[in-house]
Structure 1
């Protein structure tokens, strides 16, 4: 590996390790995106949102140049016991001093009508829109190898 390649990789790793921070004290951590297959026309982004501020906030929208449409989604069980993905128009609450996890099988950012294929190692720019904090731009790595529970926050003890 050349020094230039090593240096570029090191800068990218450090940048990804730092959470996105807004003046409102909203911090974004551990972002990643996935697609179900190479020919998929939709994908999803997952991440943790921490609110270190004194006011509740709410993630109300998202956008990305990688998709024609981006919505906030969750999974809910219907009367027949089947899990269904559905749009959450009101978004996700992030309480003051608390957090909200967007993860596989739960709440997530859904990207529909992908404008390009999302391949392992790619980066996707996602703009998260908060009720009070406003817009936070996050560079999200595409990780097609991550296991379903990897990165899940452990709030035990």
Structure 2
């Protein structure tokens, strides 16, 4: 009976570890959560990183990103033009207290080009985000299946970013 109770407790702690989103925080109030990317079948296809940045301090700007698994990492915005999804580079993204910056499939994202290898499900890799005032913040990105869609943020309806 004790063994079963011990196994149950271990399973409970393990499930917490799996369901708590990874995050990075620094002393300036910048917190980065839920950093993820999708698999890439081959290394010549760019990867895209999505995440959420919250700020409890002074306003800031996300100005750059870098990772050892890609030659370049750049900030982009996706938007519809004449019914087609296009991507444009952006120089920085504003981060302000009380207004999370969400990098998502239908908006801002980080484009990784010149990958050192194709990305596989469950793989993790480091990403350094650079903020104008907070400086560098290191995060860990988790690679998800091609069909992965993140859960809706707390308080937002499911599929709130979808345009139907």
Q: TM-score range by the shorter chain?
A: 0.7 to 0.9
Q: Partner residue of 2:66?
A: 63
- The answer to whether the Cα contact below 8 Å between 1:77 and 1:84 also exists between their aligned partners in 2 is yes
Shift of 1:40: 4.7
Which residue of structure 2 aligns with residue 106 of structure 1? 107
Q: How far apart are the structure 2 equivalents of 1:124 and 1:18?
A: 12
Distance 1:151 1:92 in 2: 23
Which sections of structure 1, spanning at least 5 residues, go unmatched?
Answer: 1-5
| Higher Rg of the two aligned structures | 2
| 1:115 corresponds to 2:116 | yes
C-alpha displacement of 1:143: 0.8
Gaps of 5+ in 2: 1-9, 158-164
1:57–1:96: 8 Å Cα contact kept in structure 2? no
Match of residue 30 from structure 1:
34
Moved over 6 A (4+): none
The TM-score, its normalising length taken from structure 2, stands at 0.77
TM-score, normalised with respect to structure 1: 0.81
RMSD: 2.8
| Residue 52 (1) aligns with residue 51 (2) | no
Contact 2:71–2:113 (8 Å) recurs in 1: yes
